[in-house]
Structure 1
């Protein structure tokens, strides 16, 4: 194992590299340098300390090479701060438009309330505390989704040798049943919104677009013109089963919104631009609340209710769960049958009237 050096273009420094061979990529930089002719005491001290660091790096690299093929992992390869490992994992595995992984890190930091935590402090008890923290603050599947991502990180760290025994192995991810059933919009309420001006036109058009496509807020917010081709839209949702993006055929109302917003000129000039200009999601929901009041819709409606309404109204027209699941970007029908369904009858009186009436009963049973 050798460490080589070469002068920089200016000729006043030596830059050091690992000399692993003559092939491409076999001379990576060490990130260290020395002065060719040190002039000051500080530069001379820098050179001395750099030579010590070079010896350390050379020794570490030799140990790494000797450990190849064995189960031994050199100690210098471990991160002392588990948060550093967590952040690296997030950077390497984060998916676009999926906030579960980054949010799991954010809330784990909020739980521990410090910038440093050693791997030895990641215990089964701490994992249970984090699960409880999430379940106390979120409802539905959100706690389970965030904690599942935390488990990904701990499982990866266990595989990398940070833990002899996986501290999260026996701690299952759990959701929190919502105390409030998610409201949906009925057909007549769609019409009420269309005839009631929204305080923010972009929010109003974007929300109606969700109602007619089933897209999430994050998908509508990031939708670009080059994702639209005729009556079809290629979404950023990727089907887990096929690995391909979901292609939606746009309803005439969705197409009307697109055509209303479409700029003049060649699409190649603005293809990478966003279709909608939306404020933050929380702000959008506040505007939607005002809009509902103006339309005299007495329901607690948020942006996600538009996605649920899309699912329920299709199911009302007897569209099968598998088709609805595909349109919403789910690999299975589990979410459609458990979350995106009608939880209460639209019209109780119409439903109850389906039961046998007094006139249909045998004469000796009639009491009315």
Structure 2
């Protein structure tokens, strides 16, 4: 393949723009985006012209290598990320899916495991993969380690297809879950009653948590809940769950109806597209919840996730 560098003078005759040409058919000529000065005015412009010519040669060489490698197992080395951490990060950026954070979390866990900022592809060995899996099993519970390591293996498989490895370093490592599951706490009926009769520092957090206990909504759903999802004089609400993107119809408990009716009194002045609950951050809400449970003499470690579990085990 013969590539010709074609110069083109600008309209004001001050610059020369270059393109690559290897035929007369459509698609056989591309602009390089590189230009040089026709009459360099100073030393800086002269140095620039020299560097521009070197860049043209590098671009030309890459173009020829790409054309010659088509249909072969050879992949030009310039196409590889020298730092595997950069490849991992870019893969996550282009392949993450809404409502599923396993891929993103697998990267963040790997960065916590591997503290250095540089990792050459040749250093990604089966031993390193095995150590990462042990790290996940020792720091996480339940199915989480297996979910994260499965995504890590997927990244390595993609890298192998792109020529970073001949065989995926994690190919012979099975995905393992952590059987030492720490059971999450849930609220008993008596504890529900204790909370209902105990005021909280933040009324918005109190109403929203009780709402979740009687509907099974996740934090992300109740925080984003708007009045247009709630119909007046209706015993159900319909929402699209943010995690699963599936529509969910919920029958309202009388306690929830009472909370909504009380808050509906100011609805006309707020607007139907406003939030039902004006909540702080998840961390802030959990701090209020912890203090509320402590004042109600509930000694369990209760977080917002416990509302959904309590709904499935007790209320429902």
TM interval, shorter chain, is 0.7 to 0.9
Kindly indicate whether the alpha-carbon contact (under 8 Å) linking 2:220 and 2:242 is maintained by their aligned counterparts in 1.
Answer: no
Measured on the aligned residues, the alpha-carbon RMSD in Å equals 3.4
Kindly indicate whether the alpha-carbon contact (under 8 Å) linking 1:289 and 1:301 is maintained by their aligned counterparts in 2.
Answer: yes
Taking the aligned partners of 2:208 and 2:128, their CA distance within structure 1 comes to 41
Taking the aligned partners of 1:18 and 1:275, their CA distance within structure 2 comes to 60
Q: Say if 2:284 is the partner of 1:251.
A: no
Deviation at 1:111, TM superposition (A): 1.8
Count of residues paired in the alignment? 303
Relative to structure 1, is the Cα distance of residues 4 and 90 closer, same or farther in structure 2, using a 3 angstrom cutoff?
farther
In structure 2, the residue matched to 1:84 is: 86
Taking the aligned partners of 1:256 and 1:102, their CA distance within structure 2 comes to 40
Q: Choose from 48, 67, 70 the match for 2:69.
A: 67
SS of the aligned residue for 2:174 comes to coil
Q: Say if 2:153 is the partner of 1:155.
A: no
TM-score, reference length from structure 2: 0.80
Cα offsets for 1:161-199 (capped at 9, x unmatched):
111111111222323234532111234433432332222
Unaligned runs of 5+ in 1: 239-244, 318-368
Kindly indicate whether the alpha-carbon contact (under 8 Å) linking 1:202 and 1:276 is maintained by their aligned counterparts in 2.
Answer: yes
Deviation at 1:120, TM superposition (A): 0.5
Deviation at 1:84, TM superposition (A): 0.9
Which stretch of the first structure deviates more once superposed, 202-211 or 224-233? Answer: 224-233
In structure 2, the residue matched to 1:234 is: 240
SS of the aligned residue for 2:153 comes to helix
Taking the aligned partners of 1:257 and 1:11, their CA distance within structure 2 comes to 75
Kindly indicate whether the alpha-carbon contact (under 8 Å) linking 1:227 and 1:234 is maintained by their aligned counterparts in 2.
Answer: no
Unaligned runs of 5+ in 2: 232-236
Instruction: Kindly indicate whether structure 1 or structure 2 has the higher relative contact order, using CA contacts under 8 Å at least 6 residues apart.
Output: 2
Q: Say if 2:210 is the partner of 1:204.
A: no
SS of the aligned residue for 1:250 comes to strand
Relative to structure 1, is the Cα distance of residues 279 and 122 closer, same or farther in structure 2, using a 3 angstrom cutoff?
farther
In structure 2, the residue matched to 1:112 is: 114
Q: Choose from 127, 131, 134 the match for 1:132.
A: 134
SS of the aligned residue for 1:236 comes to coil
TM-score, reference length from structure 1: 0.70
SS of the aligned residue for 2:242 comes to strand
